[in-house]
Chains A and B, each alone.
Chain A
């Protein structure tokens, strides 16, 4: 198993490099060197500063050289300095990423549990009431824009019913206590989880139906195994093989979808940081944030592959 994980990690290296190349190429679409300097320095873009920056970052050098300077700097932990926040990009990213991780992580757990549960119940009671009800809810769920859903949740639960705080994550950042966090987390995590829940529920349902037709399910029944166990043990286990890869994809959607949710709920995460940075044209912050999140996602996907290999003995490890 250790060797397998190592192999996956090594195979991630070219992907990570590819990600940096793509981000670098996109950022070099910014027209003209003066614009780039401005984008990095903002209002600090005095002629002396621009010149110094050109020297430090090699902005006057050819594209390829510039890429390697940038890559080398990142590998030593130097993501540059954000002009709009006047602090190192990496420090800001790490702070913000924590908040996003809490939000996206909880949403991911929610959509996984709810989605699979709904899918299994739907399949087990195919064409029954629960199935039809779930199918309907799922249809609504995957069609509602998460940002609109978030706003409607605020209106209903925070403003009208006064059950939950409108927005923020005060428990961590406003000096509140940790036990407060769930109250702040409920709505954003749900809003973020809804679409993914729908997708996972659909997939789980069809994966279960597919599996329930298999010969080994008939074998389990022929052995006298109880139907509940046939579904929850035999069928679900086999269906997980096709559900898990989709969980990986949906985690990516949760991670990027948190951009909207963080805006709607004033969540101090990395998505909001990125949007602010784009509006302020703070290019180093955007660059660093995108590379960081994409890299984190690559590692998450390795975890998914490892989970898959644990579940399915037929995968060669």
Chain B
């Protein structure tokens, strides 16, 4: 609770709201003690005095009554009525909600039907109908506003209760022979109470506004007693000649409602975990680049050349080093595999290339990414955008979430084409059909009108591939494009990519956690662990002779080629949380060859240019096949 309050008050606006409404409440409570003129006694001689006259700080109204005094009493009345309405609506509505949620079934059904009916009314209309039946008057306005808000509470509290009613402690109480009433009062209520209080406090402002509104219409408090609404209503006749009589109560209503709104927002934000985790910040169009060290000099390796790349996530004051001094390159017509468990930074490496890491929280803090020698990390947005999809294209994992759910796949394809080529719509459309055929989608002409949810996983994945091929790129970065697919579809897609590599001279970076796939497609492979490359070399050599203990373990988990499920999780321990990497080798805690030296300093990259390994005690022993 105190943590919650701290969070609430860190939000300065919420604190301002709390202070204002607190002050207003204090003054309202103290009003009877203040030495002010009677608010309801007319003094016709003093009509419409301007503010700041002696004796009348805020002036007087159309009957010569002291406005300041009327304001105090009116505020008191408005607050009391609003709070009372909130309490009544909250109590009755929550009771209905708890009963509906706890008993469920038919009772729930009937009650919620009724609630839906009530909610079908435009809000104030229902209140007007109730006042019409009961007759104007403050008490009746209060009843009307409370009644109209009951469905709101009923629905919200029911939702919470339904979630709780299925939990074990309720079942336990039932088994213990407790009656329904006791369960509701002793088990359920304490758990929903905080929800009820929050709902009441956030709607109180609304109810104050509504009762003031009814009074304004002349349907609430009746003269001579006035709440803020009826003060405003009475002052309306003299709006043009004596505006201050309107401004005074109007501003007060505004202050009350605003401070309650501020407080309510603060409460909601303090309770919303997404705000704290930064899940509600907008990712920039390009990942933020803040390189600290020197930019590595260009070397002539590869068409796409990643040099000492460092990408981090900054969440609050924690830093997650997702990618740590990674260097990779790929040549035209070559397929490079990156293999690792999930959470090792392989996807982040891939996304960093074209500045697609969500930022915030992602920041590229070092290294270079060179495409044909040009450093993409220093490129303008324009130049990067022109290369995205045109020179370097991506195939993403899970095409259900990576294709736009509301656009037809044909439109998404033509958009990819037209982003780079000023083709007329029908030409682009024809090309889209051609692309779908190229990835062997049957009935491409009609499939093009499908939405993603109307296709199977394999079909969607092919659409994703077709989209990557749309502009005949030089490099394709495929991030686990086959993980979600069954083995036959996977094989088809792999051979498709392989054909393209050979026919078009495409360079492919293929990210996976699956040696099987790498063996089929890639000449070279890099193994990543905890944001670093631990071993890199020709696929054949590494498959035959894994040098890094981690690679060996990865492969040990792999059943014979073409076999069933892969069991990567079988490696004991988990990849380290990249926020606090131990010094030395990150794999040491899981490595059975680890020595004190491994945990001490930096581990150098060893070996020749073709096959390098990041380990103090590499093993060139032939692979043991664990059955």
Contacts and interface: CB of A to CB of B under 8 A. Distances in A.
Interface stretch (A86-94, A185-193, A219-227): A219-227
A223 B389 contact: yes
Contacts of A126: 281-282
Interface string B400-418: 0111111100000001100
B116 interface: yes
Contact of B406 (A29, A155, A238): A238
A314 B219 contact: no
Contacts of B561: none
Q: How large is the interface on A (under 10, 10 to 19, 20 to 34, 35 or more residues)?
A: 35 or more
Contacts of A30: 133
Contacts of A313: 405-406, 451, 453-454
B389 A124 contact: no
Interface in B438-472: 451, 453-454, 467, 470-471
B234 interface: no
A22 interface: yes
Contact of B232 (A21, A147, A217, A220): A147
A275 B121 contact: no
A1 B52 CA distance: 66
A17 B290 CA distance: 64
B254 A145 contact: yes
Interface stretch (A46-54, A71-79, A171-179, A278-286): A278-286
A148 B385 contact: no
Interface in A254-271: 255-257, 259-260, 263-264
Interface string A134-147: 00000110111101
A221 B212 contact: no
Contacts of A206: 280
A286 B128 contact: yes
A224 B390 contact: yes
Interface stretch (B155-163, B332-340, B391-399): B391-399
B395 to A, nearest CB: 9
Contacts of B121: 19, 22, 252, 294, 297
Interface stretch (B235-243, B425-433, B507-515, B516-524): B235-243
Contact of A140 (B117, B134, B258, B451): B258
A123 B132 contact: no
Given A224-B386, A275-B219, A215 B250 contact: no
A304 interface: no
A147 to B, nearest CB: 5
A259 B217 contact: yes
B219 A278 contact: yes
A143 B258 contact: yes
A218 interface: yes
Q: How large is the interface on B (under 10, 10 to 19, 20 to 34, 35 or more residues)?
A: 35 or more
B419 A294 contact: no
Most B CB within 10 A of own CB, among A29, A145, A217: A145
Contacts of A26: 126, 129-130, 132-133
B610 to A, nearest CB: 32
B344 to A, nearest CB: 20
A294 B125 contact: yes
Contacts of A181: none
Interface of B: 13, 113-114, 116-118, 120-126, 128-136, 205, 209, 212-213, 216-219, 232, 236, 239-240, 243, 246-247, 250, 253-254, 257-258, 261-262, 279-283, 285, 351, 354, 356, 358, 381, 385-390, 393-394, 396, 398, 401-407, 415-416, 419-420, 451, 453-454, 467, 470-471
A274 interface: yes
A213 B279 contact: yes
Most A CB within 10 A of own CB, among B253, B404, B454: B404
A15 interface: yes
Contacts of B212: 145
B239 A15 contact: no
Contacts, number: 231
B124 A151 contact: no
B371 to A, nearest CB: 14
Nearest to A17: B117
A225 B236 contact: no
Most B CB within 10 A of own CB, among A151, A210, A253: A151
Nearest to B388: A224
14 contacts: A15-B120, A26-B126, A126-B282, A127-B281, A144-B257, A148-B250, A155-B240, A208-B282, A218-B396, A220-B415, A221-B388, A225-B416, A278-B132, A313-B406
A139 B385 contact: no
B131 A278 contact: yes
A216 B407 CA distance: 11
A221 B388 CA distance: 8
Nearest to A18: B117
A23 interface: yes
B453 to A, nearest CB: 5
A206 to B, nearest CB: 7
A21 B120 CA distance: 13
A145 B257 contact: yes
B388 A209 contact: no
A142 B254 CA distance: 9
Contacts of B451: 313-314
Given A209-B280, A223-B388, A312-B406, A139 B262 contact: yes
Given A18-B117, A227-B285, A148 B246 contact: yes
Contacts of A215: 396, 398, 401-402
Contacts of A217: 283
A269 to B, nearest CB: 13
Contacts of B358: 213, 218
Given A148-B250, A312-B406, A143 B261 contact: yes
A238 B401 CA distance: 12
B467 A145 contact: no
Contact of A219 (B13, B123, B136, B404): B404
A275 B401 CA distance: 52
A27 interface: yes
A46 to B, nearest CB: 23
Given A215-B402, A241-B406, A151 B236 contact: yes
Nearest to B205: A143
B136 A278 contact: yes
Contacts of A27: 129, 132-133
Contacts of B398: 215
A70 B293 CA distance: 83
A148 B453 contact: no
Contacts of A203: none
Interface in A222-259: 222-227, 230, 234, 237-238, 241, 252-253, 255-257, 259
Given A143-B261, A155-B240, A218 B125 contact: no
A230 B117 contact: no
Contact of A220 (B128, B133, B381, B404): B404
B136 A279 contact: yes
B178 to A, nearest CB: 36
A257 B243 CA distance: 23
Contacts of A226: 385, 419
A208 B280 CA distance: 9
A314 B205 CA distance: 38
A125 B71 CA distance: 41
A214 interface: yes
A299 B279 CA distance: 37
Nearest to B255: A143
Given A221-B388, A293-B125, A286 B282 contact: no
Contacts of B416: 223-225
Given A218-B358, A234-B404, A294-B125, A213 B132 contact: no
B285 A155 contact: no
A222 B393 contact: yes
A238 to B, nearest CB: 6
Given A209-B282, A224-B386, A314-B405, A263 B217 contact: yes
Given A148-B254, A278-B132, A279-B218, 18 more contacts: A18-B120, A21-B117, A143-B205, A143-B254, A143-B258, A154-B239, A209-B282, A222-B388, A225-B419, A227-B385, A237-B404, A256-B122, A263-B216, A278-B128, A278-B131, A294-B125, A298-B120, A313-B406
